[in-house]
Homo-oligomer: A and B are copies of this chain.
């Protein structure tokens, strides 16, 4: 049995087997997980979030970015949280074959992760898994996630740079997205730019983002032809370093979630349902008194 310290060293030295083991430990909250997280030293590896609606071609874009980075001799880790991602083997054979080649590149590490909970969003352990990757000395970390519900905001809390991927047909989506994706984007990608209406869409997007104080680049790509990837990587390079205020805010949000998770660990949702099923038969049942009882019984645990 390997010790936590040994595992931490393996991860740090770039041992992929050790990294895979550490990620599994953390993902499933197995024994040693908490100790491992307290021992790792996270680096400044930039974490790039790739998010956007289903069908925008995020995985193809990630694939093209991996190829670009590999050809420059850079190492890259990918965390694919999109349940529809081909990295999650949920796609056509053709995609899978194309993705499979990445697994053999020595400087590319890909980990796919099914979301928990039916509503998309990040898996419960995404923050922790990203921190493990950040201790492994990669040049870049890419996190692919589908933009549904609150996940785009969660990804912004995790990523140093958020790339929002849209397609020329996304026009009508922008309105409803405004409060979510629009706010978190550091870079917009209009993928599948060989389709009709791509220029008009990109121009509209540019006008919209022009209303914000910072300048948000809008990059046209055709990911399956690797077109526009140079420009995208350049835009990523050109991103200003986030100021300390934002870094502190994101760390505080992470801490908040870790604390919440720890404080709720003795509350079992299924058991809660069972207890309510029994108790609520009483016509005098009152939820607030019920909650009080649960709180008293878990106070010192």
Partner-B contacts on A (CB < 8 A): 34, 37-38, 40-42, 53-54, 118-120, 131, 148-150, 153, 169, 171-173, 175-176, 179-180, 244, 247-249, 251-252, 254-256, 258-260, 262-264, 267, 269, 272-273, 276-277, 280, 284, 286-292, 294-295, 300
**Which 5 A-B residue pairings sit nearest by Cβ, starting from the closest?**
A172-B172, A37-B288, A252-B273, A263-B263, A258-B291
Contacts known (A269-B252, A269-B256, A280-B251); A262 close to B295, Cβ less than 8 A: yes
Copies of this protein in the assembly total 2
* Docked pose: A258 CA to B287 CA in angstroms: 9
Contact between B276 and A252, CB atoms less than 8 A apart: yes
Q: Complex: how many Å from CA A180 to CA B175?
A: 17
How long is the Cα–Cα vector from A53 to B258 in the complex, in angstroms? 32
| Distance from A105 Cβ to chain B, minimum over Cβ atoms (Å) | 30
Tell whether, in the assembled complex, residue B291 and residue A255 are in contact, meaning their CB atoms are under 8 Å apart. yes
Contact yes or no, B259 A267, CB < 8 A: yes
Task: Known contacts A37-B288, A288-B258; decide if A252 and B264 are in contact (CB<8 Å).
Answer: no
What are 7 contact pairs spanning A and B, CB under 8 A?
A: A53-B176, A54-B176, A171-B172, A244-B277, A248-B276, A251-B287, A263-B264
Nearest B residue to A128, CB-CB: B288
Query: What residues of B have a CB within 8 angstroms of the CB of A54 in the complex?
Result: 176
Taking A169-B172, A260-B263 as given, write out 6 further A-B residue pairs in contact, using a Cβ cutoff of 8 Å, ordered by the A residue number. A37-B286, A118-B179, A149-B150, A248-B273, A252-B273, A262-B295
In the complex, chain B residues whose CB is within 8 Å of the CB of A249: 273
Cβ-defined contact, A179 with B251, below 8 A: no
State which of B37, B256, B273 has its C-beta within 8 Å of the C-beta of A267: B256
Q: A287 and B173 in contact (CB under 8 A), knowing A179-B119, A248-B280, A277-B248? A: no
Q: With a CB–CB cut-off of 8 A, which chain B residues contact A262?
A: 291, 295
Chain B residue at smallest Cβ distance from A244: B277
**Cβ–Cβ < 8 Å partners of A131 in chain B:** 287
